[in-house]
Structure 1
């Protein structure tokens, strides 16, 4: 069953508004408030979060510690130059390296990851609190400053 995103409920403003596709249908934008989100059905259908892709090494670089930790520290430095969050929620943390860097900086950090394999890696190897699922579904139940 496919969801009609033109009348789907916006997770931010709530009312049913017209939604315009963006980036070839990968994103939707609420005409009521301007919030944009991923089109879940499209992402699932095109194999982007397909566990077979992980098994075949498609996201192998997501789990390589050295380059991921380097990039995570760079992203964290940028974030801390703009805001000082105490609670951070990351959409799509992949292997969890940014969450690890944030945690080491004293930030309460968690994430929501669409891939079961990536979420499991973040939890089992880095001990980061990552929920498996879609950000649009889980995030409205959580609070964070960044």
Structure 2
């Protein structure tokens, strides 16, 4: 029996490592094995910024991968938590009655949804702001190079 509440918490806490996918679909789930890749690349981008500074262009591409992965997993946790009990049990507990306990929503599910909404929205906005800020700074620097008079 697959619990909706546990799946929501796994997506929120361990989503970037694919834990919710392994819980629901087993260890053979390809997407579960692929989720740690953008997470690891984003962490590598953070390490590059710490080592090389804010001007490292590769880190500008890598860091948002971590943010978008976190935000996507938070969205997945919200979707798990808001799935109606009949649909949840039909999809993940097909042999159980449609109103079986693992598919029901309770306070633990609500807290997972609320935490996912707060963290997911924050991380998504921060990732977008970081990406756009560095993109526009790069554009300004390139425009300055072009506008410099040739000697």
More helix by share: 2
Q: TM-score, normalised by structure 2?
A: 0.23
Q: TM-score, normalised by structure 1?
A: 0.24
Instruction: Return the index of the structure with the highest Cα Rg.
Output: 2
For CA contacts below 8 A with separation 6 or more, give which structure has more relative contact order: 2
